[in-house]
Amino acid sequence: MTTIRVVAHCLLDPETRLLGLRPVAFTPEPPIIQLPCPEAGCLGLDRWAVTKNQIDIPSYRRYCREIFAHHADLIEQFSKRGCEIEVVGVGGSPSCGVTSTTAGYAGGKIRPQEHRHVPGRGVFMEEVTEELERRGVPFRLSEAGVIDPEPSPR
């Protein structure tokens, strides 16, 4: 049986990662569907670090659903053909974390902030899993790497 890997964008294109984060070592076997990067698309490439609690708002969730819709159509078709679906997220990501995400940052003026990695799923992965479940598409989840707690120079 063919396994289709549905992967977070930055796993294949590290240029979309937050500036200063190292690429995640990831070399998946094809066939692959590369998801769009919701943070780069919504917040841009020059964005600041964010935590899940900052982006867990209705407009960001709606954006995530919208950018995933066409991918979900294709994934559903592959599933109906009998392909296995594996969704691969990024550890510690506020959007694409599968088993770990981030929390912290209370808002306000720009200043040094603390954040922490916590168990849980990122906003985009919550929307991806909810949509695939709604469509009755069987899938499994996995997570590649962990986002560095301290950015490194790029």
- Give the residue numbers spanning the domain of 61: 3-17+28-146
pLDDT at site 146: 62
Q: Nearest-CA neighbor of 5 among 87, 67, 70? A: 87
Is the residue at 23 inside a domain? no
Is the residue at 9 inside a domain? yes
Is the residue at 153 inside a domain? no
Is the residue at 112 inside a domain? yes
3 state DSSP class of 92: coil
pLDDT at site 87: 97
Is the residue at 22 inside a domain? no
Domain count, the chain: 1
pLDDT at site 152: 35
CA atoms within 13 A on the CB side of 122: 32
- Report the chain (154 residues): mean pLDDT per 10 consecutive residues: 96 93 90 97 94 96 98 98 97 95 82 83 97 98 71 37
Is the residue at 154 inside a domain? no
Structural tokens at position 61 = 């969730």
Q: Output the CA torsion sign for 145, 151, 152, 154.
A: positive
pLDDT at site 154: 33
β pairing state of 140-146 and 100-104: unpaired
Is the residue at 127 inside a domain? yes
Is the residue at 152 inside a domain? no
The string over 61-94, giving b where at least 16 C-beta atoms fall within 10 Å of a residue's C-beta and e elsewhere, is bebbbebbeebbeebbebbeeeeebebbbbbbbb
Q: What is the pTM of this model?
A: 0.88
pLDDT at site 147: 53
